[in-house]
């Protein structure tokens, strides 16, 4: 009985570092998903800015600014914005001043792509220390 007296304390002392490491890993990768949500939100915000009007759709720097302003908590976020026209949803890109044979005027779309690199707080064995995050949002111009 005397030999077992301190075994519970010893087992607890040995398990606490393992549980702390596990908790840190879960919390760190929770931050990855939170940051990924912000990257997606930034792409959507930039595309929504461009989709308001054809004037805004031509303003690629305004869409990029809207995207980066939506993600101020992420350092190093980059945004690229484009606008294009198609005759049908998912169809080939055409000139916005052209005429579609079966549809009439082409539909104008804006697309914003955001990118950021997430760095974990600690390097966990077998898991990446840096994680590239990208998002793309495409909306039809009103």
CA quadruple 113, 119, 120, 125: dihedral positive or negative? positive
**pLDDT over threshold 80, residue 5:** no
Give the tokens for residue 86.
């198609």
Residue-wise pLDDT for 20-68, tens only, equals 988 988 898 899 999 999 999 999 999 999 999 999 999 999 999 999 9
Q: Kind of pairing, strands 130-140 and 93-94?
A: unpaired
pLDDT at 9 over 90: no
pLDDT number for residue 90: 77
pLDDT of residue 124: 78
**Residues 49 and 69: beta-carbon distance below 8 Å:** no
Whether 96 shows a pLDDT value over 90: the answer reads no
DSSP label of 2:
G
Per-residue pLDDT for 86 more than 80?
yes
pLDDT per residue as tens digits for the range 114-141: 999 999 888 878 878 899 999 999 999 9
pLDDT of 68 reads: 97
Residue 8: burial class (beta carbons within 10 Å; 0-12, 13-18, 19+): exposed
Please tell me the total count of domains within the chain.
1
- Tokens, residue 105: 């005027």
Those residues whose C-beta lies under 8 Å from the C-beta of residue 118, and which sit 6 or more positions away, are: 31, 32, 35, 36, 130, 131, 132, 133
Q: Which domain holds residue 45?
A: 2-140
In this prediction, residue 29 carries a pLDDT of 85
In the chain, % helix, strand, coil (3-state, to 5) comes to 45, 25, 30
pTM for the structure as a whole: 0.83
């Amino acid at each position: 009985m005397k030999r077992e007296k301190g075994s519970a304390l010893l087992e607890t002392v040995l398990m606490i570092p393992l549980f702390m490491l596990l908790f840190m890993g879960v919390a760190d990768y929770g931050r990855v998903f939170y940051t990924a949500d912000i990257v997606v939100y930034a792409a959507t915000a930039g595309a929504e800015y461009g989709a308001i009007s054809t004037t805004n759709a031509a303003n690629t720097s305004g869409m990029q600014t809207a995207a980066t302003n939506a993600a101020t908590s992420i350092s190093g976020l980059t945004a690229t914005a484009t606008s294009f026209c198609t005759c049908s949803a998912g169809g080939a890109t055409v000139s916005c001043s052209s005429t579609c044979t079966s549809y009439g005027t082409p539909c104008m779309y804006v697309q914003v792509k955001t990118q950021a690199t997430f760095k974990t707080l600690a390097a966990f064995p077998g898991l990446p220390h840096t994680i590239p995050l990208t998002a793309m949002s495409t909306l039809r111009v009103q």
